[in-house]
Amino acid sequence: MESHGKVIDRLRTAFRSRVTVPLEFRLSQLRSLLSLMEENEAQILEALHKDLAKPKFEAVLSEIEMVVNDICYAIDNLKYWVQPDYVGKNLATKLDDCFVHREPLGVVLIIGAWNYPLQLVLLPLVGAIAAGNCAVLKPSEISQATEALLAELIPKYLSQECFSVVCGGAEATARLLENRFDHIFYTGSQAVARSVLQAAAVHLTPVTLELGGKCPCLLYGQLDIPAAAKRLAWAKYFNAGQSCVAPDYVLCSRQVRDVLLPALQQALHHFYGPQPQRSVDMGRIVTERHWSRLMDLLGRSGGRVAIGGESSREERYIAPTVVVDVQESDALMQEEIFGPILPILTIESLEEGIELINRREKPLALYVFSDESKVSVSTVLEKTSSGGFCSNDGIVHMTLPGLPFGGVGASGMGSYHGRWSFETFSHRRGCMLRGWGLEKINVLRYPPYRDGSLSWLRWATTTKKKGWSSCSVM
Amino acid sequence: MEKQVVDRAQQAFLSGRSRPLGFRLQQLRALHRLITEREADIVAALKQDLNRSRFDTPLFELIGLENEIRLAESSLSEWAAPRPVKKNLVTASDDVYVQAEPLGVVLIIGAWNYPWALTLQPLIGAIAAGNGAVVKPSELSSHSSDLLKELLPQYLDKEMYQVVTGGIPESQELLRQRFDHIFYTGNSIVGKIVMEAAARHLTPVTLELGGKSPCYIDKNCDLSVACRRITWGKFVNCGQTCIAPDYILCEPGIQQRVIEGIQQTLMEFFTDNPKSSPDYGRIINRRHFDRIVGLMEGCTVALGGQTDSSECYIAPTVLTDVSPHVRLMQEEIFGPVLPIVNVSSIDEAIHFINRREKPLALYVFSSDKKVIKRMLSETSSGGVTVNDVIMHYTVTSLPFGGVGNSGMGRYHGKHTFDQLSHHRAYLIKSLAMESLNQARYPPMSPARLKRARFFMQTWLCRNREKSLHFYFVCLISWTRRSDLAHPIVK
């Protein structure tokens, strides 16, 4: 098996040959990736089912269709994205060409996660290809079936000179990170992100970190609770709660909670029937270790299980569970849950909820359910920060290709999806093309300096009106 | 002490007072007053730090800053406004936008070569973006740092924007604290240390580093103009500019004319005795002076070469017959020494450039469009100016920053504002239109799955134009409730 160093050298040689630069190459690779998705759907679904018992419904919507849509979006728009941006000029540079040219970075590393094993590797890959890079893919070893499938299919569909899949566990990832890349795209946990960033610092490699955190969900004021409950339940229990943007915990008043609980119960019944364990639409926890972690959290919680609570170790199953009477110091509030357990904390006021949210790290997503948009939505928005924000729904904001998807603070840095992926993997080179003329004007900037020339310069370079970009030295 | 400074800035930020645009504008105006009212003090400090002439200071630092402040003032409401995102049928009644938000407290570490520009320009963006800031100017330009420490609290909000002076121990202590962004200008070695420190807190960084910016002179160009422009860019600030042309690449056939062109220009700029010219600077300190003199060893001097350690003076120097392997060609010169490396063709020049780290700037002098195109498309660099040097820095609408070893992130104008903001994605929905959501909910049935897929393919609208009629038909078919049956059980 090829060593990591050799793989990267091979990709770098390919990159240097400039084979990835032409638009046609990028489009052809994107089309091949599309064929990979379309021609192997059954195997993909099977792999996802093996890894996570991922319900077919979920796998199709959140993995296959999301990737296919992003590929199509890139294919349709790439020719616009690669065009140079001509920028505003000023008096001194009127005769010059000033533009921003987007260029590939080189060889990028994409490290995926196990919860959406396909999407979290392939969506960044779409951006990497679109931007003209070569890429090393490192899928998560925890979702083994998908890892093996990617290792099998990628070389069949994409250029083997430019794209490579590396398999293995934490040790393999650490060894991979010793090499130099031109960008590292990591999806996963904060702990590992720190070592990724430290490894990147050695080579001054820019990174994108898509992390997680506890995504709060505030329900406040007048609201249509049954509709909210449905959306909340859908967002929470999708993929058995194993989504980085799943609502992690709920904040609401006692009154709202008392109406919410039966509404959630009803929504869950509608989705999964009276016995969710037997529903094909209910997922499973990825490994026994994570199952134990979740059961431990539930066991240590001081709250009361209001809905669900059933589990099965053999199946790595945990029922859609809601826990009430949860305090801020509870075990469930100490780490990202990443499972189908929803704690509800009661608050007396919106301010109390906002303060609680702000005492914690900035989350990847923040949700507010309310019909009083002016008050609660605006207030929460202004007083909190989060990667993204969605009101009156959950998760869906990340499905819109026009919106950047990414974190802030402990939930990550950088963003992607749609055009944002292309920008992430590009260098924006500022270019100025001057002519030979107007040397007489340049004289103003040359020594020997005189008072007179300085005042001319001040006059000429002062920004006189809005919309003129300024020039500091002629 | 550093921890207290950071804590104070954080408390100030958490008070929320830096968010309203009115506050930010007020602070920007105050910064503007600082620059205009205290220009004489700034000029004096720079004279002591770098022997900067009183013309160079406004030219290279202050005018640019004033323009940046004016731009921020006039554009702030536009920059801070929500940026709508293209909607589709399903989100037609929703608000979908991206809005820039402050990050929190930004650490700005400045450099000594343009102590005011490189510290205050990021600060302008930090203020405009609604952040608090801790500014750490370079201790090497000590007169400027001391002056900044004295002046900033006189004009700006004392807690929100603080200055910390000092050397390595103070910088290290600052880097142990947690910031929401670190903006560093300097060299790659320290850049790595900064990034590593930032990694502990998962803090994003902007690194404005350097490198060897190549300057390719094609035989087909207006050589006298080229030489004048290159000479200006190289010897301004005594070569201590991150985007100064570091070395020249040209064919041996034109080398002599290049040397003559530079020589003539040097005469015009600084007379035949640059040491006596008030417009020629000095090296910042003895350590850097010794470093640069050391780099010149063993090379053939075509012009200049004189030095005076008592003044940290190095004459404008051109070296020829420079081998790619000498130490001079391995590190950024950052001084008034200009090596000329011979290449036989543009291919060789491109190959030469690409074997090295990506530079912060790349310069090409040519009248041949094909040459320019090849240079641009076959190399990479932070930025480019063709047929001049440095000038791309001056256009605020161009992003200024490095790539690879020369840095990460970008700034100037709106780019600074964007770099020091968090671009938060917003989807504001209502609880109405719940029927549209039915397609995505379990329980699954083959018909529902088919509908859901169709739904995803069209409502995510792979940006293809479809008629309204088509969408209307889709909408009607999705909202039928006929097959919301009980879940299929195993």
The average pLDDT across A300-328 equals 97
Do residues A80 and A107 lie in contact, with contact meaning Cβ atoms separated by under 8 Å?
Answer: no
Q: Does B59 touch chain A (CB under 8 A)?
A: yes
Judge whether A16 is closer than 8 Å to chain B, CB to CB. yes
Among the candidates A406, A440, A458, a domain finishes at A406
Measured in angstroms, the CA of B161 and the nearest CA of chain A are apart by 20
In this model, does residue A95 exceed pLDDT 80? no
Q: In chain B, whose CA is at the least distance from the CA of A428?
A: B399
The reply to whether A60 falls in a domain is: yes
Q: What is the pLDDT of residue A318?
A: 97
**pLDDT tens track for B258-312:** 999 999 999 999 999 999 998 898 999 999 999 999 999 989 999 999 999 999 9
In the predicted model, what is the mean pLDDT of residues A324-344? 97
Does the pLDDT value for residue A91 go beyond 80?
no
Cis omega (within 30 of 0) for bond into B214: no
Across B126-141, b (16+ Cβ under 10 Å) vs e yields bbbbbbbbbbbbbebb
Cβ of B442 within 8 Å of Cβ of A57? The answer is: yes
Q: What single string gives the DSSP state of each residue in A271-311?
A: HH-S-GGGBTT----S-HHHHHHHHHHHHH--SEEEE---E
What pLDDT does B89 receive?
A: 65
Claim to verify: residue A117 and residue A186 sit in the same structural domain = yes
Instruction: Please tell me the total count of domains within chain A.
Output: 2
In a domain, A439, yes or no: no
Q: What is the pLDDT of residues A153-170, one digit of tens each?
A: 999 999 999 999 999 999
Q: At residue B188, does pLDDT exceed 50?
A: yes
Give A362's DSSP letter. Answer: P
Question: Half-sphere exposure (CA, 13 Å, Cβ side) for B59?
Answer: 27
Shortest CA distance to B308 belongs to which of B238, B247, B261?
Answer: B238
Angle at A39 between CA A43 and CA A22, to 5 degrees: 125
With CB atoms and an 8 Å threshold, state whether A198 touches B199. yes
Q: Which residues pair with B162 in a beta bridge?
A: B134
Q: Give bridge partners of residue A317 from the DSSP assignment.
A: A312
B382-405 in b/e form (b: 16+ CB < 10 A) is: bbbbbbbbbbbbbbbbbbbbbbbb
Domain boundary among A346, A377, A406: A406
A390 part of contact set with chain B, CB < 8 Å = yes
Q: Indicate the length of chain A as a whole number.
A: 474
- What is the reported pLDDT for B466? 42
Residue of chain B whose alpha carbon sits nearest to that of A193: B202
Given a cut of 60, whether residue B483 has pLDDT beyond it is: no
d(CA B172, CA A306): 51
CB B405 within 8 A of CB B211: yes
The DSSP bridge partners found for residue B163 are B135
How confident is the model over A255-271, as pLDDT tens digits?
Answer: 999 999 999 999 999 99
Q: What are the chain A neighbours of B453 within 8 Å (beta carbons)?
A: 60-61, 65
Q: Which residue of B has its CA nearest to A429?
A: B383
End-to-end CA distance of chain A: 57
pLDDT band at A460; cut points 50, 70, 90 = low
What does the alpha-carbon distance between residue B169 and residue B211 come to, in Å, rounded to a whole number? 26
pLDDT at B486 over 60: no
The reply to whether A178 and A229 lie within a common domain is: no
Q: What is the tens place of the pLDDT at every residue in A176-223?
A: 999 999 999 999 999 999 999 999 999 999 999 999 999 999 999 888
Share of chain A above pLDDT 70, in %: 93
* Torsion region of A325: left, alpha or beta (phi above 0 gives left; psi -120 to 50 gives alpha): left
Q: Which residue of A has its CA nearest to B425?
A: A388
Domain presence at residue A470:
no
pLDDT attached to residue B464: 42
Please report the residues numbered 470 through 489 in chain B whose beta carbons come closer than 8 angstroms to any beta carbon of chain A.
486-489
Report long-range pairs for A419-423 (Cβ below 8 Å, ≥24 apart).
Answer: A419/A77, A419/A81, A420/A127, A421/A70, A421/A74, A421/A123, A421/A124, A421/A126, A421/A127, A421/A128, A421/A130, A421/A131, A422/A74, A422/A78, A422/A81, A422/A102, A422/A127, A422/A130, A422/A131, A423/A102, A423/A131
Q: Do B372 and A433 touch (CB under 8 A)?
A: yes
Inform me whether the pLDDT recorded for A473 exceeds 50: no
Query: What's residue A88's pLDDT?
Result: 76
pLDDT computed for residue A458 by the predictor: 66
pLDDT-derived band at B477, boundaries 50, 70, 90: very low
- B176 interfacial to chain A (CB closer than 8 Å): no
Q: Which residue of A has its CA nearest to B271?
A: A448
CA B126 to chain A, closest CA, distance in angstroms equals 16
The reply to whether A300 touches chain B by the CB within 8 Å rule is no
C-alpha to C-alpha distance for B137 and B120, rounded to whole angstroms: 10
pLDDT > 60? residue B473: no
What percentage of chain A reaches a pLDDT higher than 90? Answer: 82
- Do A297 and A360 share a domain, yes or no? yes
- Give me the half-sphere count of Cα atoms (radius 13 Å) on the Cβ side of residue A150: 29
Please check whether residue A253 lies inside any domain of the structure.
yes
Q: What is the pLDDT of residue B90?
A: 66
B407, A275: Cβ pair inside 8 Å?
Answer: no
Chain A: give the shortest CA distance to residue B298, in Å.
31
* Neighbouring C-beta atoms of residue A474, cutoff 10 Å: 23
Whether residue A110 is found in the same domain as residue A177: yes
Residues A228 and A136 in one domain: no
Tell me, yes or no, whether A468 lies in a domain. no
pLDDT of residue A409: 97
* Residues of chain A contacting B104 with CB distance shorter than 8 Å: 409
Give the tens place of pLDDT for each residue, B417-445: 999 999 999 998 888 777 777 778 888 88
Yes or no, beta carbons of A473 and B63 under 8 Å apart: yes
B397 contacts on A by Cβ (under 8 Å): 87-89, 98, 469
Taking 90 as the threshold, does the pLDDT of residue A92 lie above it? no
Q: Which of A272, A404, A435 sits opposite B387 (nearest CB)?
A: A435
- Rounded distance between C-alpha atoms, residue A72 and residue B464, angstroms: 10
Of A55, A72, A392, the CB nearest to B430: A392
Q: Which residues neighbour B19 within 8 Å (Cβ) at sequence distance 6 or greater?
A: A382, B102, B130
- The answer on A164 and A152 residing in a single domain is yes
**Contact (CB<8Å) A473/B277:** no
The mean of the pLDDT values for chain A is 92
In terms of domains, do A247 and A391 share one? Answer: yes
The DSSP-derived string for A173-230 is HHHHHTS--SEEEEES-HHHHHHHHHHHHHHT--EEEE-----EEEE-SS--HHHHHH
Pair A244, A140 in one domain: no
d(CA B62, CA B38): 11
Ramachandran bin of B186, using left for φ above 0, alpha for ψ from -120 to 50, beta for the remaining angles: left
Of A61, A89, A431, the CB nearest to B452: A61
Q: Is residue A378 part of a domain?
A: yes
Rg of chain A in Å (alpha carbons): 26
CB–CB of B144/B45 below 8 Å? yes
User: What's the rounded Cα separation, in Å, for the pair B204 and B179?
Assistant: 9
Residue A375: pLDDT over 90: no
- On whether the CB atoms of residues B17 and B23 are closer than 8 A, the answer is yes
Sole residue written with tokens 């640069």: B292
- The domain in which residue A290 lies consists of 215-406
Of B377, B380, B395, the CB nearest to A427: B380
SS3 (DSSP) at B75: helix
Q: Which chain A residues are closer than 8 Å to B364 by Cβ?
A: none
Residue pair A116/A63 in contact by the 8 Å Cβ criterion: yes
Which candidate in A400, A415, A424, A461 is best for mutational testing of the B interface (most B CBs within 10 A)?
A: A400
d(CA B349, CA B352): 5
Give the mean model confidence (pLDDT) for residues A236-252.
96
A319 and A366 inside one domain? yes
Catalytic residue list of A: 210, 244
Whether residue A279 sits in one domain with residue A199: no
Flag if B444 and A281 touch (Cβ within 8 Å): yes
CB contact under 8 A, B422 and A427: no
Mean pLDDT, rounded, of chain B:
90
Read off the pLDDT of residues A54-72 as tens digits, 9 standing for 90 and up: 999 899 999 999 999 999 9
Lowest mean pLDDT of A47-51, A293-297, A462-466, B30-34, name the range.
A462-466
- B71 to A470: CB separation less than 8 angstroms, yes or no: yes
Whole-angstrom distance, CA of residue A210 vs CA of residue A294: 22
Orientation of helix B446-459 relative to helix A66-81, angle to 10°: 20
Q: What is the CATH number of the domain that holds A370?
A: 3.40.309.10
Does residue A465 sit within a domain? no
CATH number of the domain at A91, please. Answer: 3.40.605.10
Average pLDDT over residues A428-432: 96
Assess whether A43 and A163 both reside in one domain. yes
Q: Which residue has the higher pLDDT, B89 or B139?
A: B139
pLDDT of A451 above 80:
no
Q: Which of A278, A445, A447 sits opposite B489 (nearest CB)?
A: A278
Which of the given ranges, A141-155, A218-232, B52-66, B452-466, has the highest pLDDT on average? A141-155
Q: Would you call A458 an interface residue with chain B, using a CB distance cutoff of 8 Å?
A: yes
Taking a C-beta distance cutoff of 8 angstroms, is the pair B136, B168 a contact? no
CA Rg value for chain B: 28
Q: Which of B75, B427, B484 to mutate to test the interface with A (most CBs of A within 10 A)?
A: B427
Chain A CB contacts of B403 under 8 Å are: 103, 105, 427, 429
What Cα–Cα distance (Å) separates residue A206 from each residue in A196, B195, B403?
11, 10, 9
Amino acid A274 reads P
Q: How confident is the model at residue B321 (pLDDT cuts 50, 70, 90)?
A: confident
Distance CA B156, CA B201 (A): 28
Residue A76 identity (one-letter amino acid): D
Q: Which phi and psi angles does A293 have, rounded to 5°?
A: -60, -45
pLDDT of residue B55: 80
Of these residues, B227, B242, B312, B474, which one is catalytic? Answer: B242
Out of A348, A377, A406, a domain closes at: A406
Q: Residue B463: its pLDDT value, please?
A: 44
Does the structure show a pLDDT above 50 at A464? no
ipTM: 0.94
The two counts, helices (H) then strands (E), for chain B are 18, 18
Domain annotation covers residue A455? no
> In terms of DSSP bridges, do strands A85-86 and A97-104 run parallel, antiparallel, or are they unpaired?
antiparallel
- Asked if residue A122 and residue A92 are part of one domain, the reply reads yes
**The pLDDT of residue B118:** 96
